[in-house]
Amino acid sequence: MAKNKPFKKLATKQTPHFSIPELINYEIRKPAFSFHDIQYQGDLCLTKCDDTNKALIVDKLLKLSQLTWKQIDSSPKDTYGYEHIPYTKFIVTLPATVTRETTLLVFRFSHTGRIAGYRLKDILHVVAVSTTHSLY
């Protein structure tokens, strides 16, 4: 550096030092479905259903995937809505990912058929599917 020359001043950036993430309203998003928590080949697995019930389940999930969570929440339980059932009311063994504090959502796909799962953000994690067994 040469003697008697002033230092160059650096231009300051006008950006914030941190950013606040954009808040996402999951109520206006369409649901996604996860079967990761279901006990594969267990009594409450989709694999135990016959072809007719599998078709009814897929039809129900396809219809739900076209609605937002807000629309699903406002629907009657007989159509696209669900029931809130606490963990303690279930008489079947649920996966370890479901804790005592969890309230499960139970959807109807036929007269006796039920899909049980819990919601995280916009994802419904399916934990049980039953056509003849009583879940609760």
- Tens-digit pLDDT profile for residues 95-129: 888 988 888 999 999 999 999 999 999 999 999 99
Domain boundaries, the chain: 27-130
**pTM, full prediction:** 0.80
Amino acid at 98: V
Positions in the chain short of pLDDT 50: none
26: DSSP letter: G
Q: Cα torsion for 25, 28, 30, 35, to the nearest 10°?
A: 40
For the chain, give the number of residues. Answer: 136
Selecting from 3.30.2310, 3.40.50, 1.10.357, 3.30.9, what CATH number does the domain 27-130 have? 3.30.2310
Distance between CA 86 and CA 74 in Å, rounded?
Answer: 20
